[in-house]
Structure 1
């Protein structure tokens, strides 16, 4: 069993790495620094917003899973706001970079 990186450090790495790669990432809501879940609002140049969350996939492996609505910025904001009301430990990160899903997976799932 491998130790898991604290969520705050993982989010910080995602934000810094996005900036270094010419993209943009910002924390929309801070959650528990040690073990909070992370919800990513992924988009490319402000277009095609969609939600991703680290979770257990159908094969039992940790992966990024599409959740909630996609394509409608207001519906996405409403979704994560509701989630935060029920889970104040949830982090919400906006990630705007080419191939956001791949980029987030490389950063958040790499061992």
Structure 2
């Protein structure tokens, strides 16, 4: 599901992964020491404070209106990340 539509050609993409409808993990492409941009966890939802995660996403949208935020529900987060995001 697209939570926020950003700039069509240049917006940053953030991916929120929900594993089996549980807590969200936010991934974004971050620069590495070798200059490549790799997918990294930038925020994890805390079970006792789910609102804090939603507030963080709202702040990111306010700071960067061009950002895309996409939410994916997957059965196995580690496998999904390995198979789809590990290549950078």
Distance 1:34 1:28, change over 3 A: same
Greater share of strand: 2
Aligned with residue 54 of structure 1, among 19, 23, 29 = 29
Deviations 1:18-55 (A, max 9, x none): xxxxxxxx000000110100111111111131111112
Aligned with residue 89 of structure 1, among 51, 55, 66 = 66
Greater share of helix: 1
Partner of 1:75: 52
2:82 and 2:65 map into 1 onto residues whose CA distance is: 23
**Matched pairs, number:** 86
1:69 and 1:42 map into 2 onto residues whose CA distance is: 10
Contact 1:69 1:79 (C-alpha < 8 Å) held by counterparts: no
Q: How does 1:4-83 map to 2 (within 5 A)?
A: 26-71=1-46, 72-83=49-60
TM-score computed with the length of structure 2 as normaliser: 0.77
Q: Could you list the runs of 5+ residues in structure 1 that have no partner in the other structure?
A: 1-25
Q: CA RMSD in A?
A: 2.4
Q: Could you list the runs of 5+ residues in structure 2 that have no partner in the other structure?
A: none
Q: Flag the structure with more relative contact order, 1 or 2, with Cα contacts below 8 A and sequence separation at least 6.
A: 2
TM-score computed with the length of structure 1 as normaliser: 0.63
